[in-house]
Amino acid sequence: DARVTQTPRDKVTEMGQEVTMRCQPILGHNTVFWYRQTMMQGLELLAYFRNRAPLDDSGMPKDRFSAEMPDATLATLKIQPSEPRDSAVYFCASGLVTPPDYFSYNEQFFGPGTRLTVL
Amino acid sequence: DQQVKQNSPSLSVQEGRISILNCDYTNSMFDYFLWYKKYPAEGPTFLISISSIKDKNEDGRFTVFLNKSAKHLSLHIVPSQPGDSAVYFCAASASGGIDNFNKFYFGSGTKLNVKP
């Protein structure tokens, strides 16, 4: 049963601490997305990778957030230092796009999310 | 500024009746639209989609309608069932180049409660 996994599922930390969230995309998928869900904004796109290369991280606060894909089976989202306003649920999603048919839209498969609370 | 808006944070419907969830968008370049459903403590899951070349797409009890001139789409669930109670997100994408494909903009969600 292929699915996106995320760890940890819940994280409580104090302001100023570093937080690292991990995502394992579905094997074979070549796109990875990080989203943040808040009550006010809904699902906000933070970062987007294709074939491990970052294509868009314009939704991410650059001074404290960073996203990487050390290899095809792991994506990380790091917050340093964390602040109370970062409290949210962070979702990772993966999908598959296959050249040359970039003109087809493909479903994104979401992980269960990491609930982050920064005190 | 949000490009996709769901102005109703919640909706309550009686079992067996129709549920209508609405979504508005501002970017006229959007040409593909999706609905995702989310249960508590789970990630969103894909429900139904529609391309801008169509104005309606149906899948069982779920139908999505697209009104391009009004920049509006809606999801109809008929008949509604208690298991449909979830948060529904609408999403949109624009085919503005290879790097934009599969980049979706989501609304803030509508929580549907179907009462038995």
DSSP B38-77: E-TTS--EEEEEEETT-SEEEETTEEEEEETTTTEEEEEE
Chain A within 8 Å of B30 (Cβ-Cβ)?
Answer: no
Per-residue pLDDT of B103-115, as tens digits, reads 788 999 999 999 9
Per-residue pLDDT of A9-37, as tens digits, reads 999 999 999 999 999 999 999 899 999 99
From chain B, the residues in CB contact with A36 under 8 A are none
Distance of CA A83 to the CA centre of its chain: 18
Binned at pLDDT 50, 70 and 90, residue A39 comes out as confident
- C-alpha span between A104 and B95 (Å, rounded): 9
User: b/e for A24-43, b at 16 or more Cβ within 10 A?
Assistant: bbbeebbbbbbbbbeeeebb
Per-residue pLDDT of B75-88, as tens digits, reads 999 999 999 999 99
Determine what percent of chain A is predicted with pLDDT higher than 90. 67
Residue B100 φ then ψ, to 5°: -90, -15
**Contact: A111, B43; criterion CB under 8 Å:** yes
Chain B residue whose CA is closest to A31: B102
> What value does the mean pLDDT take over residues A51-68?
89
**pLDDT confidence of residue B98:** 57
**pLDDT confidence of residue B93:** 87
Candidates B112, B35, B102; CA nearest to B80 is: B112
DSSP 8-state code for residue B9? S
Residue ranges in chain B whose pLDDT is less than 50:
none
**pLDDT confidence of residue A82:** 96
Three-class SS of residue A32? strand
- Nearest beta carbon to residue B104 from set A40, A97, A108: A108
Residues from A in contact with B at Cβ < 8 Å? 4, 31, 35, 39-45, 48, 50, 55-56, 91, 93, 95, 97, 102-103, 105-113
**pLDDT confidence of residue A105:** 63
- C-alpha span between B98 and A102 (Å, rounded): 6
